[in-house]
Every structure is written in structure tokens, then in C-alpha cells.
Chains A and B, each alone.
Chain A
Amino acid sequence: MTNGHHQAVDDSDVAPGDEHLEGTSIGQRVVGYLTGLGLAILLTATSFFVARTDLVWEPSIPVALVVLAIAQMGVHLVFFLHITTGPDNTNNVLALAFGVLIVMLVMVGSLWIMANLNHNMMPMDQMMQMQR
């Protein structure tokens, strides 16, 4: 049997959270988690540093914090939840993508609409005047 056959018949999916385990030793898996932990600590420490420092241009701080948070979520997804771009992970990634879409719609949509309403609302004192 050629390798191509084997692939077509055997490339089953991997459960979310499971690693692709062929030929991976326990030591290698621990190193994977340690890598994730190290990166996460680095990103968290940077976040806490950036939030309080005077060294960074102030208006850029919120953007930097959001970028750092998204990067850390990526680190957790890859090293702790083992979500990869491999063919055995397609279903997991698609479900995740749909989840992210809904999360973005809910958050951006709410903020946008409420900011717009807030902007168009009559100031409270004028409203009181009209009701009088």
C-alpha cells in the first residue's frame, strides 16, 4: 500500500484538545505546554507593563493591550487546546471561526449601535424642557 492510500483512508479527525500523538513522547508534550506557558507569561507581563507605563505613547495603549490579548488567546489555543491548521483539525477550526464571528458581531454590533444612539440622543436637560 502506498502512502497516498494510507492517507486517504486513514486521516481521521482529532478531537478538540487532543494532540496529534504519533511519535510524540511525553517529554515533547511537556515541552509543548512549557512553551505555551512561557509565551503566555511573556504576553501577560507585557500587558500589565504596558497598562501602567509612561514609556509608551498614551493613545496607543488600548490598541496594544487588545493586540497582546488576542496574541495570548492564540497561544492558548495552539499550545493548550491544540487547535492547529492541519487537515485533522478542519472541523474544530471551522466551529471556532463561526464562534469568533458571532462573538465579533455581538460585541462590535452592540458598541456601534449604542454609541450611535448615544450620539443622536437629545441631552437630558433639553428632553426635560420638552416634557414640561
Chain B
Amino acid sequence: MSTVALTEAHHGSAGREWSGPAPKRIVTGYGFWIFILSDMVMFSAFFATYAVLLGQTAGGPTGRELFDLHAVAIETAFLLASSFTCGMAAIAADARSTIWFQLAMAVTCVFGLGFLNLEQQEFASLVARGAGPTRSAFLSAFFTLVGCHGLHVSGGILWLLTMMAQVYAKGFRPDIQRRILCFALFWHALDIIWIAVFTIVYLLGSAK
């Protein structure tokens, strides 16, 4: 640190101008944070669409008749648990413990797949009961919103497997660590969006 920066620090925060660009980890993480926020803006449009079309059932079944809260509770538990194990993977990555990292990521993957499996069963049973996305505007909006979240989870699982392979092949290099940081952000953000999904779609949809 040069003396310029130190003397400049006397005059207040102006000293930071000499500190140079932020470390790569912060730039990458911040950029990805902006992406996640724009993703949430996209989801907000789907939520708004769903809320506007909630009553437009075209004489078809309503959410109260269709939703199975039991399955939704298990889906929520899966995603919440996977968020926790994803945090464990982040800690293991910081501690450079390959075994714990791979273990935590594998458990996260299993929970994620469990979630996707339940969601796929739900979609299949809806379509089988004649309540597919083409039945009414309400169901179109439902499948778009929940399906878009499901697609994000699917993409997240592919990314998760990629990170396991990269750590296996390349170890905890700084660039791999940055990708792990971004993956963790992505996975936790999906859980936050799921909170909105189970509250707005399922719980409000089937409340008395």
C-alpha cells in the first residue's frame, strides 16, 4: 500500500480511489447477483400474469380442486434441505475439502432430483386429469410459472454436476471457486423463488 493511499485516507473515504479495481471474486459475484435479480424480475412478470389470470378458468377446474398440498410440502422440504446442503458445499469449498464438497453437492443433487420428480408427477397427473396447460388461461399461467421454476432447477442440477466434475478434474482453483460461488447464489435464489411459488400459487390458491 503506497503512502499516497494512507495520507489520502486522512481526508476521508477518498483513499479508496487508489485501491484499484475490486478483486475478481467480487466482480464476478456482483455481476451474477445482477443476473439473479433480473431473473427475479422475469419471475415477477410470470407471477403477475398468474395473479391476473387466476380467475380465468374457462369453466375448468380451479386451483383448490387441483392442488395437493401434501406433495407441495414435501417438495418444499426437499428444496429447503438442498439449500442447506448447498451451503455446506460452499463451506467445504472454502475449506478446500474435496470429500465434504463432493458429498454435500451429491446430497444437494439428490434433493433437487427428488423435487423435480415430485413436480413432474404433479404435472403428469394434472395433464392426465384433463387439466393441462391448454385447458384454461389459469392453467396456462400456472404451468408457465411453476414450469419455469422447474426448468431453472433442472438447469441448476446440470450446473451442479458440472461443478462436481470440475472440482474433481481441476481442484479448487480460484476460477472454480468463483463458479461455486455463483452456483450457490443461483441455488439459494431458486429456493427464494419457490417460497413465493408455494405461498402465492399453492397456499393462497387452496386457502378457504
- Size bracket of the B interface: 35 or more
B59-100, CB under 8 A of A: which get 1 and which 0? 000000000010001001100110110011011001100000
Q: How large is the interface on A (under 10, 10 to 19, 20 to 34, 35 or more residues)?
A: 35 or more
List 5 A-B pairs, minimum CB-CB distance, nearest first: A15-B29, A99-B37, A110-B48, A8-B9, A69-B199
* B22 close to A12 (CB less than 8 A): yes
Interface SS majority for chain B: helix
In the complex, besides A8-B15, A44-B80, A81-B189, 17 extra interface pairs with C-beta distance below 8 angstroms are: A12-B19, A15-B29, A15-B30, A16-B29, A18-B181, A37-B84, A40-B80, A62-B204, A62-B207, A66-B199, A76-B192, A76-B195, A77-B192, A80-B188, A81-B185, A103-B40, A106-B45
In the docked arrangement, what's the CA distance between A68 and B204, Å? 12
Q: Are A110 and B29 in contact, CB atoms less than 8 angstroms apart?
A: no
Pair B22/A13 contact, Cβ less than 8 Å: yes
Q: Is B9 touching A51 in the complex (CB atoms < 8 A)?
A: no
Partner of B44, one of A18, A26, A103: A103
- Which A residues form the contact surface with B (CB < 8 A)? 1, 5, 8-9, 12-18, 21, 26, 29-30, 33-34, 36-37, 40-41, 44, 47-48, 51-52, 58, 61-62, 65-66, 68-69, 72-73, 76-77, 80-81, 91-92, 95-96, 98-99, 102-103, 106-107, 109-111, 114
Q: Is the Cβ of B206 less than 8 Å from the Cβ of A51?
A: yes
Chain B positions 4-46 with a Cβ under 8 Å from a chain A Cβ: 5-6, 9, 12-13, 15-16, 19, 22-23, 25-26, 28-30, 32-34, 37-38, 40-41, 44-45
* Main secondary structure on A side of the interface with B: helix
Q: B48 touches which one: A1, A92, A107 (CB < 8 A)?
A: A107
With A30-B88, A48-B203, A80-B191 in contact, is A5–B6 under 8 Å at CB? Answer: yes
Chain B residues with a Cβ under 8 A of chain A: 1, 5-6, 9, 12-13, 15-16, 19, 22-23, 25-26, 28-30, 32-34, 37-38, 40-41, 44-45, 47-49, 51-52, 69, 73, 76-77, 80-81, 83-84, 87-88, 90-91, 94-95, 181-182, 184-185, 188-189, 191-192, 195-196, 198-200, 203-204, 206-208
Inter-subunit contact B87/A33 (CB<8 Å): yes
A48 touches B73 (CB 8 A): yes
